């Protein structure tokens, strides 16, 4: 039971975060790009403050913890069973993809969020910088969304494999 529960929790968390990221890239960022840069900057600054709250942070960090737990469960199970099968590989790759999304967030998106936080929405120079940051951020955001969704699919599939 611990085996499937751990995988399902990690899969659900990866699916939720991936969905948030992809929806943001597909809907929010295009909407922001259609607004005057000063409005877009101020809105993104506000969104970044709102994002760092308990509901999303619980899913974000809880999912990462669950993915780490999946790695531990898979390694223990492989040692106990005496080998690594397709199911183990599927679980490990799914967890790795979910964790790779966290790495993209920490290494790429958060530093750009910090740069956006420092922008002055009224500054013409900062407005021009926003356009570049928004493109860079969206590309990485789409990547982390894809990594999360693929990780979720593999983690969910793992429950069905021996």
Per-residue pLDDT of the chain (162 residues), as tens digits, is 456 889 999 999 999 999 999 999 999 999 999 999 999 999 999 999 998 998 889 999 999 999 999 999 999 999 988 888 899 999 999 999 999 999 999 999 999 999 999 999 999 999 999 999 999 999 999 999 999 999 999 999 998 887
At 81-102, the pLDDT tens digits run 888 889 999 999 999 999 999 9
Residue 73 tokens read as 């469960």
Nearest to 121 by CA among 66, 41, 45, 28: 41
Q: What is the pTM of this model?
A: 0.91
Q: Give the per-residue pLDDT at 161.
A: 82
Write b or e for each residue in 94-133: b if 16 or more Cβ atoms lie within 10 A of its Cβ, otherwise e: bbbbbbbbbebbeebbeebbebbeebebeeeebbebbeeb
């Amino acid at each position: 039971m611990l085996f499937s529960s751990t995988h399902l929790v990690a899969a659900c968390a990866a699916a939720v975060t991936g969905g948030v990221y992809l929806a943001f890239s597909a809907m929010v960022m295009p909407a922001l790009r259609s607004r005057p840069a000063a409005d877009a900057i101020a809105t993104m600054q506000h969104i970044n403050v709102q994002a760092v709250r308990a509901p999303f942070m619980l899913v974000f960090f809880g999912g990462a913890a669950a993915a780490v737990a999946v790695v531990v469960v898979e390694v223990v199970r492989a040692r106990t069973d005496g080998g690594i099968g397709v199911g183990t590989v599927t679980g490990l790759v799914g967890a790795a993809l979910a964790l790779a999304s966290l790495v993209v967030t920490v290494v790429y998106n958060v530093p750009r969020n910090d740069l956006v936080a420092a922008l002055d929405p009224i500054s013409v120079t900062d407005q021009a910088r926003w356009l570049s940051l928004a493109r860079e951020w969206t590309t990485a955001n789409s990547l982390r969304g894809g990594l999360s969704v693929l990780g979720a699919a593999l983690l969910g599939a793992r429950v069905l494999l021996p």
